[in-house]
Structure 1
Amino acid sequence: MAEPVLSNIPSESSGFILTRQQFDTPGGISFQFWLKGNQGAFPVTVPGQEGVFFVLEEDLPRIEPLLEPITDWRLSPLPLKDLQQRPVCGLYSRSLKGYRQLSDRLQTYAISMIEEDIRPVDRFLMERFIQDSARVRFSETSAQLQPTNYEPQLTMLSVDIETTMRADRIFSIGLYSDQLRKVLIVGEGKNEPWLEYVNDERALLQAFVREVEQYDPDVFIGWNVVGFDFRVLHERARRLQVPLNLGRDRSRIQVIQSANGKWFCRIAGRVVLDGIDTLKGATYQFESFSLENVSNQLLDRGKLLGHQQDEGLNKGEEIQQVYRTDPRKLAEYNLEDCKLVWDIFEHAQLLHYLIERSRLTGLPLDKVGGSAASFDNLYLPRLHRKGYVAPVYASGESQMGAPGGYVMESRPGLYNQVLVLDFKSLYPSIIRTFMVDPFALAEGTGTECCPDDLVPGFNHAIFNRKEAILPGIIERLWQARDRAKAEKNTPLSQAIKIIMNSFYGVLGSDVCRFFDQRLSGSITLRGHEILIRTQEKIESQFGYKVIYGDTDSVFVWLGDDFPVDKTQEEGLRLEAFLNQWWQDEVQQRFGLPCHLELEYETHYRRFLMPTMRHSEKGTKKRYAGIRHFTDGSEELVFKGLETVRSDWTPLARRVQRELYRLIFSDMPYKDYLKQVVKQLKVGELDDELVYRKRLRRPLEEYSKNRPPHVQAAQKLYDQLSDSKRLNRFSAGMHIEYLITVNGPEPISLLRSPIDYQHYLDRQLVPISDGILMFLDDSLDGISAPQISLF
């Protein structure tokens, strides 16, 4: 590791933690942190540390002989126990190598280990309640870190590279920020302020290092920037023997692939953020996460090249051609891709979201997912201070029946005046109200408690109402979210919502350390009870029908003749009554304050609850309606139907939206459907008949089941030369095809007539009859030619 480049840092400084590293030294494990403070980025090194995890005291007679071949360890009794009340000891090592040897050795002999998967550098911060920022006091030999609040001003730099199709040569590197706009490109030409030509690929990489050092960004952003851009940069630099010294201490970057195929990039003092992963983590959903699609959805503009074939077969060839004939045009395309990523990050406030997430949970900015790590960071230090350690990994009670969210049997039909009442953050509010908590469960079931201090759960769970940890964590997050909403801080509000909602998953997943179906069942089964009793109360107290319910919502039919102008008032009346009723119920049954909060959310002026296909039973998680707002405006809403699913053709999706709009607005629809069928059969709608579906695995792995898009891909594969097949038919590739009289054919090799009857029977009939059946009508009845009786 390179030596840190120290600047004139005061003896006490504060900053936001950008990166964290751990490495072995002769004096023990050293931790190195890079922080961004008021005077720039600075390193902090904490030497002479140990790694620790826990083992059960009852296993010591087996453990000590097994560890004799290893020299770097010590065992220490601790005033701690696991959640089954068993005493534990700490097993320490002064090196990361020794730490791994200890855990590998014990795992080989099936010895239970506790919290062994927590990196020592992460534990160092976690146990000090250091989340995103730290105050550092420097001494001559070390540094002390304490938690603090610090508002960072981080600089971003968007990076994108253009390469050959095999990525065995880099043509250009684009760089974009609010202060830097530049493309470095191999070739000959006149340099411009934004464009610099270099002689060869070695010079290109060296120029890139120079630009990064001059601009000195805290954060790199890009699109698949780790798995492609930095991976290729790292590989080409290695092959050309160019030191890619992008670290703030002038160390080289590290690009590593994990066992599950995920790529990671480590740069001392700098963070690399992938736009796709960040959007997914912030719960954005798109049919495709291609840069072309996402930029069009969020920014209303797309890429300069490859508009039609993004992720398809011709984009790579187009880039090669443009580089040969007009390198300046390729540079413009390269820079625009950088700017698209920058603008997406700005539009969605993604960096702000990640900073707020770090502030709340202690997760590094570049941590993908991280719900279990968030829980650990918030929960474990508080659990340790109660005298407990976590359970042995995923060792909680199972096979007890802990179903998912409650989904009510729907009542299919076409309705007027439907209200949706939604429990605000139902699962977190259940945890908070009913004291659902691993520590409270251990205290309630494993110690002598006064019966008045106990709260019954489900699956034989009993919780101690006075000793819970998790409800307090949720209460603090809840209050922070209320403040964020009041301040219109959307990224913070979203971060808190995601964190709170992830807690149930951590308790209910058998790949998480706190998995226990007494905990998850006490959440989901309580949720079932709450929805069922809410339905019963609405129907008995008000006489309305609840036509559907899903996890945290109930859909209430007021009646087709209920006045539109009274729905808002009635929704608020239901909300107020039910909230007070639940307050009284929880207090009377459990003697607890109730944190359940029901909100009147939506009024549908018209609402369709469809049936399952080829059945009279109602569907689940599928409906449509006209949402009516208090100002008189309306919005057409689809949930789970064909119009929001990418595996249906553009024609089916367009026709469904228009047909439902007409019917919901009581407008004539038969002439519209007749016209669509006529246009289909004469070939006027061919552009809307293209299926677009992704290969879930490499083409060669489809052996037994070969669905239409795989058949189309195979036909395309068979027509291409060997060079053009390379890396083209891997998992993730989208195939565009049509159904012809000779089966599926890729659009680029269409040879047979289109099978219009297929599109009528498999696309238009299903989406039309889903609503027409409630009008005693059908598409066949509308479109079939009428036979004269005379």
Structure 2
Amino acid sequence: MADTVKLPNAAAGTAREGFILTRQQFDTPEGISFQFWLKSGESVFSVTVPGQEGVFFVLEEDLPRIKSLLASQLPPSSQDSPGWRLQPLQLKDLQQRPVYGLYCRSLTTYRQLTDLLQTYAIPMIEEDIRPVDRFLMERFIQDSARVRVGEHGVQLQPAELQPTLTMLSVDIETTLRADRIFSIGLYSDQLSKVLIVGDGPNEPWLEYVNDERALLQAFVREVERCDPDIYIGWNVVGFDFRVLQERARRLQVPLNLGRDGSRIQVIESANGKWFCRIAGRVVLDGIDTLKGATWQFESFSLEYVSNQMLKRGKLLGQQMDEGLNRGEEIQQVYRENPRQLAEYNLEDCKLVWDIFEHAQLLHYLIERSRLTGLPLDKVGGSAAAFDNQYLPRLHRKGYVAPVYASGESQMGAPGGYVMESRPGLYHQVLVLDFKSLYPSIIRTFMVDPYALAQGTGTECPPEDLVPGFNHAIFSRKEAILPDIIERLWQARDRAKAEKNAPLSQAIKIIMNSFYGVLGSNVCRFFDQRLAGSITLRGHEILTRTKAKIEQQFGYTVIYGDTDSVFVWLGDDFPVEQAPQEGRKLEQFLNGWWQDEVQQRFGLPCHLELEYETHYRRFLMPTMRHSEKGTKKRYAGVRHFDDGREELIFKGLESVRSDWTPLARRVQRELYRLIFSDAAYADYLKQVVSQLKAGELDDELVYRKRLRRPLDEYSKNRPPHVQAAQKAQDRFAREGKKRPFTAGMYIEYLITVNGPEPRMFASSPIDYQHYLDRQLTPVADSILMFLNDSFEALYVPQIDLF
């Protein structure tokens, strides 16, 4: 086991640095204690900071009501030794109102007081910040800390480390109801092992145990020996660790996986999200981590993601409908060939490990933590990331945050600007993209909560003000957020230069999330003057850029979306000269915007337009049953400077999982032919012939997710619900209980008797349905621009003469 050190017992003057793995807070007779586990080199140590208080803020004007409530509503015993104190502070809210700090000596009291004030609708400020998180935030401690034992106790300061963290991939196999665990798979770069209940010869990678109690005990033993910093898995918290905890509780096996010998805690939040707490160890779910790093897949099943990313999948159940047959197959394999189940179990562990390695997910999380102070296992967290950066700087200027979502909300603050598109089939289209438009607007035009308060609430000379939108006025000298953006921007430029993709991605996500924090009515800094000053400025920038391109160069802007403009150079423009023209547009427009911002506002301009893409051929389709152009839907052949080409689809059927594989394949091939000026009629006729001959049946399967439990669909029962109901009825007749739950995917075919589940489909397939509802829409979306139609190609023509 790694070296474990408790620094408070060390001599005064002792100091040590470490990366923060976990943070806990708990009540003691002396006050709130914070415990941190840190990784330093190959060793791990814990530090406890005792005798702390939790604090949130209240308005001075509410003190009479608060004192009256505390006197009348709290138990008499708490009046003698209240465990809280109200203290005046040299702080104000952004409306210039004085505030008091309400300090609590226990977490119990903290929750008591916040619940009480909330019940009586008394405003509270920053009450949702956990005391242990505030402790780090106010000290500007992000991912690592320098811990010093001094005369006045333990002190933590910011530090910078490059940690080496160890991972262990965990996966369990169970009965269908998860009321018994068959095996536990463990995989890392140091360990490859499966523990399984049963009889058989042990092997280096396979250990048989007598029963489930022995299985859990062996698992604890292996964890102690391996001593990982991080557990990873697929739905590892909501399933694997939840089941492990439940089975350990029922079998009375202490699941002491913490580095201090403490038990794990798997907790379900009010919104149904599961969390796992283990002292000194972090649990990372592969699904949540991929989503947080902005990876997108049609399905986040391990089978699908591993095939897409690693080009390999599970050892069992590849052909099974998700959630229907895999469980039964596992039961059967366990009974007939336990060793095969162990191989399957271990391969699942390896798949998760390889996904983390391939996508550099741990590297991404470490960089995110370094930039924002978010714990490694924090899911989402854009508001918390903003708070960690913004609040300590705001406090040092003498202010606290607004009461939650108390900003202006009666004004229009639209989202990103999307131009009306000009539908057509084009040659030579360039895409020019504003680099991180919203962060650059914040940075350029001083969009900032504190600058807004100073600009609208204090006496500032006109030359110190920057006009925004929705009656916003910002101080150009008293802004916090632009400096945070600038620091992140510089860090991203360094990351790009060093080819540090995880760091670059982490910074991009963080910067882009800042608009969401200012524009969401569930965030503390929500104010439509802030949000509008970002999005409406973006509208202005795009419309003026479009006008300047058309006026200065005579080109047509056929589309624009949030931060991009699509420029048609003309069908006769030489393909080899298009990249040079894109760079010419980029250079001119950046210079023009520099002059515009300086002349209008006297500010340096941080807007940066980049020539991004050259489409040799480009389709902007119409909306279905309309002549109007679509939005966020297009396709084209991207042409690279070295002559390579790539077929791109955005928002069209070929990239949407609710269309059949046949429609998606036909669209891609048809577009490829047309973009290459090749004949396409014979190809479509062949597809129709094969369809009617039953040669393409495997490509006719629809796959759609149930959004809620099956029995909650009463009035509207779409095809996938009808198919699921038929499957459930079939299972019931066979004496099998199969609830169809929310989130489950249903695979089905359209037959002459309506939708039928794929596994039980028996009626003839309705091929006309697929011609009318799948092939016709995807083909006509491009054929209409060639004065052709799908129906004209496959319907036999009647010779009248």
What range describes the TM-score normalised by the shorter chain of this pair?
over 0.9
What residue is the counterpart of 2:587 in the other structure?
A: 576
Structure 1 residue matching 2:583: 3-state secondary structure? helix
Please tell me whether residue 161 in structure 1 is matched to residue 164 in structure 2.
no
Please tell me whether residue 511 in structure 1 is matched to residue 522 in structure 2.
yes
Calculate the TM-score normalised by the size of structure 2.
Answer: 0.97
What residue is the counterpart of 1:409 in the other structure?
A: 420
| Residue 140 of structure 1: how far off its partner (Å) | 7.8
Equivalent residue runs for 1:439-458 within 5 Å: 439-458=450-469
Aligned equivalents of 1:15, 1:725: Cα separation in 2: 54
What residue is the counterpart of 2:39 in the other structure?
A: 36
Question: Which digits, 9 at most, give the CA deviation of each residue in 1:535-586, with x for residues without a partner?
Answer: 0000000000000000000000000000001001100000000000000000
Question: Which digits, 9 at most, give the CA deviation of each residue in 1:381-431, with x for residues without a partner?
Answer: 000001100000000000200000000000000000000000000000000
Aligned equivalents of 1:527, 1:188: Cα separation in 2: 67
Aligned equivalents of 1:273, 1:316: Cα separation in 2: 24
CA contact (8 A) 1:312 1:735 kept: no
What residue is the counterpart of 1:258 in the other structure?
A: 269
CA contact (8 A) 2:731 2:738 kept: no
| Residue 39 of structure 1: how far off its partner (Å) | 4.7
Please tell me whether residue 615 in structure 1 is matched to residue 618 in structure 2.
no
What residue is the counterpart of 1:75 in the other structure?
A: 86
Aligned equivalents of 1:354, 1:705: Cα separation in 2: 42
What residue is the counterpart of 2:53 in the other structure?
A: 50
Please tell me whether residue 176 in structure 1 is matched to residue 176 in structure 2.
no
Please tell me whether residue 134 in structure 1 is matched to residue 145 in structure 2.
yes
Q: 1:184 to 1:555 in 2, by over 3 A?
A: same
What residue is the counterpart of 2:559 in the other structure?
A: 548
Structure 2 residue matching 1:721: 3-state secondary structure? helix
Q: 1:141 to 1:728 in 2, by over 3 A?
A: farther
What residue is the counterpart of 2:65 in the other structure?
A: 62
CA contact (8 A) 2:59 2:98 kept: yes
Q: 1:282 to 1:722 in 2, by over 3 A?
A: farther
CA contact (8 A) 1:9 1:42 kept: no
CA contact (8 A) 1:45 1:142 kept: no
**Matched residue pairs, number?**
787
Query: Is the deviation greater in 301-310 or in 107-116?
Result: 301-310
| Residue 477 of structure 1: how far off its partner (Å) | 0.1
Equivalent residue runs for 1:94-133 within 5 Å: 94-133=105-144
Structure 2 residue matching 1:98: 3-state secondary structure? helix
Structure 1: any 5+ residue segments left out of the alignment? none
| Residue 38 of structure 1: how far off its partner (Å) | 2.1
Match of 2:388 among 377, 380, 388: 377
Structure 1 residue matching 2:96: 3-state secondary structure? coil
Match of 2:101 among 85, 90, 93: 90
Aligned equivalents of 1:579, 1:361: Cα separation in 2: 31
CA contact (8 A) 1:405 1:527 kept: yes
| Residue 141 of structure 1: how far off its partner (Å) | 7.9
Match of 2:317 among 306, 314, 331: 306
Please tell me whether residue 600 in structure 1 is matched to residue 616 in structure 2.
no
Aligned equivalents of 2:152, 2:333: Cα separation in 1: 57
Please tell me whether residue 688 in structure 1 is matched to residue 707 in structure 2.
no
Aligned equivalents of 1:459, 1:786: Cα separation in 2: 61
Match of 2:685 among 655, 670, 674: 674
The one-letter amino acid paired with 1:473 is: I
CA contact (8 A) 2:416 2:535 kept: yes
What residue is the counterpart of 1:493 in the other structure?
A: 504
Aligned equivalents of 2:348, 2:763: Cα separation in 1: 38
Aligned equivalents of 1:725, 1:388: Cα separation in 2: 62
CA contact (8 A) 1:5 1:249 kept: no
| Residue 789 of structure 1: how far off its partner (Å) | 3.5
Aligned equivalents of 2:279, 2:561: Cα separation in 1: 47
Question: Which digits, 9 at most, give the CA deviation of each residue in 1:324-374, with x for residues without a partner?
Answer: 000000000000000000000000000000000000000000000000000
Equivalent residue runs for 1:134-153 within 5 Å: 134-139=145-150, 142-153=153-164
Structure 1 residue matching 2:695: 3-state secondary structure? coil
Please tell me whether residue 22 in structure 1 is matched to residue 25 in structure 2.
yes
Aligned equivalents of 1:727, 1:114: Cα separation in 2: 48
What residue is the counterpart of 2:714 in the other structure?
A: 703
CA contact (8 A) 2:728 2:738 kept: no
Aligned equivalents of 2:604, 2:152: Cα separation in 1: 52
Aligned equivalents of 1:652, 1:130: Cα separation in 2: 53
Aligned equivalents of 1:310, 1:421: Cα separation in 2: 43
| Residue 747 of structure 1: how far off its partner (Å) | 1.2
Runs of 4+ aligned residues of structure 1 deviating over 3 Å after TM superposition are 4-10, 139-142, 721-728
| Residue 750 of structure 1: how far off its partner (Å) | 1.1
| Residue 788 of structure 1: how far off its partner (Å) | 2.2
CA contact (8 A) 1:29 1:95 kept: yes
| Residue 143 of structure 1: how far off its partner (Å) | 1.4
Query: Is the deviation greater in 9-18 or in 508-517?
Result: 9-18
Question: Which digits, 9 at most, give the CA deviation of each residue in 1:212-238, with x for residues without a partner?
Answer: 001100000000000000000000000
| Residue 296 of structure 1: how far off its partner (Å) | 0.5
CA contact (8 A) 1:81 1:389 kept: yes
Calculate the TM-score normalised by the size of structure 1.
Answer: 0.99
CA contact (8 A) 2:731 2:737 kept: no
Question: Which digits, 9 at most, give the CA deviation of each residue in 1:720-769, with x for residues without a partner?
Answer: 13897546410111111000001000111112110000000000000000
CA RMSD of aligned residues (A): 1.2
Equivalent residue runs for 1:242-391 within 5 Å: 242-309=253-320, 311-391=322-402
The one-letter amino acid paired with 2:29 is: P
Question: Which digits, 9 at most, give the CA deviation of each residue in 1:491-547, with x for residues without a partner?
Answer: 000000000000000000000000000000000000000000000000000000000
CA contact (8 A) 1:610 1:770 kept: yes
Aligned equivalents of 2:171, 2:739: Cα separation in 1: 21
Please tell me whether residue 772 in structure 1 is matched to residue 775 in structure 2.
no
Q: 1:411 to 1:221 in 2, by over 3 A?
A: same
CA contact (8 A) 1:133 1:148 kept: yes
Query: Is the deviation greater in 309-318 or in 541-550?
Result: 309-318
CA contact (8 A) 2:583 2:611 kept: yes
Equivalent residue runs for 1:2-21 within 5 Å: 6=6, 11-21=14-24
Structure 1 residue matching 2:412: 3-state secondary structure? coil
The one-letter amino acid paired with 2:116 is: R
Question: Which digits, 9 at most, give the CA deviation of each residue in 1:136-183, with x for residues without a partner?
Answer: 012588411000101100000000000000000000000000010000
The one-letter amino acid paired with 1:214 is: R
Aligned equivalents of 2:735, 2:678: Cα separation in 1: 52
Question: Which digits, 9 at most, give the CA deviation of each residue in 1:226-259, with x for residues without a partner?
Answer: 0000000000000000000000000000000000
Aligned equivalents of 2:120, 2:302: Cα separation in 1: 48
What residue is the counterpart of 1:206 in the other structure?
A: 217
Structure 2: any 5+ residue segments left out of the alignment? none
Structure 1 residue matching 2:418: 3-state secondary structure? coil
| Residue 9 of structure 1: how far off its partner (Å) | 7.1
Question: Which digits, 9 at most, give the CA deviation of each residue in 1:457-485, with x for residues without a partner?
Answer: 00000000001000000000000000000
Please tell me whether residue 539 in structure 1 is matched to residue 542 in structure 2.
no
The one-letter amino acid paired with 1:512 is: C
Question: Which digits, 9 at most, give the CA deviation of each residue in 1:123-143, with x for residues without a partner?
Answer: 000000000000001258841
Equivalent residue runs for 1:645-660 within 5 Å: 645-660=656-671
What residue is the counterpart of 2:407 in the other structure?
A: 396
Please tell me whether residue 587 in structure 1 is matched to residue 598 in structure 2.
yes
The one-letter amino acid paired with 1:20 is: R
Aligned equivalents of 2:236, 2:731: Cα separation in 1: 29
Structure 2 residue matching 1:341: 3-state secondary structure? helix
Aligned equivalents of 2:99, 2:90: Cα separation in 1: 8
